[in-house]
Every structure is written in structure tokens, then in C-alpha cells.
Amino acid sequence: MAGPLLWCLLLVSNSGLHGVGYLEHCEDQVLSFFGRKVKRVLFIPYVLHDQDAYAKTAREKFEKLGYGLDSIHESSDPVEAVRKSEAIFVGGGNTFRLLKTLYYLNLIPELRKKVLHAGIPYMGSSAGTNVATISIRITNDMPIVYPPLFEALGFVPFNINPHYLDPDVDSTHMGETREEQILQYHEEPDTPPVLGLREGSMPLVEDNKATLLGRNKV
């Protein structure tokens, strides 16, 4: 992919954390990331069926933080909404539904132009973080719909597994651990690295440097 690799990304593992409200655990990072030059954020809620309710939740949070929020599903021209955006937030939900909709509405190339070449800030949470990577092949979500490709936006040269859980030595569950599932993924040829992103964690990507922030930094 031509052009600069990433320089303005905040990739959050989760929107909700036990004991706190929506995005409350990463408010400081969100404020620092968007700063005061950003006035309005374009929200992409395609992960959920009830997009109106999701936009309402996101709008209330961002307005509390001092930003206006426009939801792309309310626009008659989603491509133009991306072109006019000064910052983007893609929320969490079903990654397959999200990626299918981005392809269907021809938003993949527009998002790449805005983030990789225009350099506007991109924040993702969970599914929004998944689609910022090379592909969605290691998402935890059920394939309730089928996107034309698993290839995602490719903002970073690796994949991310949000909500990563360490093996519980006291668990009686006989299913595969998250670590075992990722190792199975790497049994296939030419698989990129995977970042297991624990709850409350988020890499901040600026230019070619990524810094792990949040409650769980290791």
C-alpha cells in the first residue's frame, strides 16, 4: 500500500469495562488523542442492528467530552460523509456485519484515503479495532453475515485480537484457549503477527510507532 503507514490511530480493545460506563475507562486517552483541534467526530455504527440507539449512546459520551458527533448512518451519502470528516470513530459489535457494510457502501477506499493520506484521527473499539488491521480472520465474532473479503483497512501491519483472555489454570472449560486459537491461525502459511489486546488496553499509533496504553500494558 502506497503512502505513509499509520500516524493517527487509537485502537481500543473494548468500549465497556466492568464497573464503569461506556468508554469511561479510556476517557483520558480519547481526549488526548482527539485534542481540541477536532470539533466533530464521524461515528460508524454499522456493527449493530439498532444503529439509532448506538449513535445516541456514542453521541452522549462524545458531547460530554466536548465533541460533536455525526453518525454516518444518518447521512444520505456515506462516502461524502467520510470525505468531509475530521475524525472517525468506529464502534464495537459484530465485525462481519461491519466489514460487509463498509464494502457494500464502498467506504474502504475512502477510509484509507482519509486516514493513511489525509492523516485524520481514527479511533476504533473492538470490531472497529479489528477492521483497522490487515484482516478480520481472528475476530471473536460469529459470522452472521459474509463480507466479500476478510481483508480489512490495513492501517497496521499486524492483526489484533481484542478482548484477549489469558488461560485460566483453574478453569474446567475444555474448549480451546484464546492462545491456542491464535496458534492455530499461525499454522496457516503467511500469517501476520497478532497482538492479543486485553480488556482496558489500547495501542496508540503515531507514524510508525505504537505505544500500548490503558489499564493492562503487558
Q: What's the grid cell of residue 197?
A: 489486546
Q: Are 88 and 34 in contact (CB under 8 A)?
A: no
Instruction: Tell me, rounded to whole angstroms, the distance of Cα 216 from its chain centroid.
Output: 18
Mean pLDDT across 102-114:
97
> Which of 70, 73, 75, 163 is the catalytic position?
163
Instruction: Tell me, rounded to whole angstroms, the distance of Cα 45 from its chain centroid.
Output: 11
Q: What integer pLDDT is reported at residue 174 of this predicted model?
A: 55
Known catalytic residue: 141? yes
- Cβ neighbourhood burial of 151 (10 Å; 0-12, 13-18, 19+): middle
> Which of 141, 171, 190, 207 is the catalytic position?
141
Known catalytic residue: 13? no
Least confident of 17-21, 44-48, 83-87, 144-148: 17-21
> Which of 125, 126, 135, 201 is the catalytic position?
126
pLDDT-derived band at 7, boundaries 50, 70, 90: low
Give me the domains of the chain, ranges plus CATH numbers: 9-209 (3.40.50.880)
Q: What integer pLDDT is reported at residue 1 of this predicted model?
A: 38
| Interval 113-140: pLDDT, tens | 999 999 999 999 999 999 999 999 999 9
Q: What's the grid cell of residue 65?
A: 467530552
Residue 32 phi/psi, 5-degree rounding, is -70, -35
State yes or no: pLDDT of 157 exceeds 70.
Answer: yes
- Cβ neighbourhood burial of 165 (10 Å; 0-12, 13-18, 19+): middle
Q: What integer pLDDT is reported at residue 217 of this predicted model?
A: 53
Sign of CA dihedral 36, 109, 213, 65: positive
